């Protein structure tokens, strides 16, 4: 059974985001931006963080995207993340 995190990573791959490692952190390059998936335990939510360039990603200057609470239906969560990625970055 896939975890929700694996499904989010599959979404990145489906969108042809290229996985890279910057400062020992996995990031995904998409539409010239760098995305980092973060789970915030205190809020029980995933957030996609965005950096506009490699330099910003290297310096860990990511901006937070929307919070996606894990109690949300998985299909809806993936749909909202897809919408956020494709609408915010294109």
pTM > 0.75: yes
User: Where in the chain are the domains?
Assistant: 4-84
Angle at 3 between CA 51 and CA 65, to 5 degrees: 25
Are 46 and 8 spatial neighbours (Cβ–Cβ below 8 Å)?
yes
| Partner residues linked to 50 by β-bridges | 35, 63
Report the 10 Å Cβ neighbour count for 29. Answer: 18
Beta bridge partners of 64: 49
Cβ atoms of 56 and 29 closer than 8 Å: no
Q: To the nearest whole number, what is the mean pLDDT of the chain? A: 93
Query: pLDDT digit string (tens) for 59-90?
Result: 999 999 999 999 999 999 999 999 999 987 66
pLDDT of residue 12: 96
Whole-number Å distance between alpha carbons of 63 and 71: 23
């Amino acid at each position: 059974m896939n975890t929700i995190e694996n499904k989010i990573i599959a979404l990145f791959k489906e969108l042809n985001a290229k996985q890279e490692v910057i400062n020992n952190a996995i990031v995904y390059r998409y539409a010239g931006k760098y995305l980092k998936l973060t789970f915030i335990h205190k809020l029980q939510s995933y957030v996609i963080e965005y950096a506009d360039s490699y330099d910003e990603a290297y310096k860990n200057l990511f901006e937070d995207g929307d919070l996606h609470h894990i109690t949300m239906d998985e299909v809806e969560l993936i749909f909202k993340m897809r919408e956020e990625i494709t609408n915010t970055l294109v």
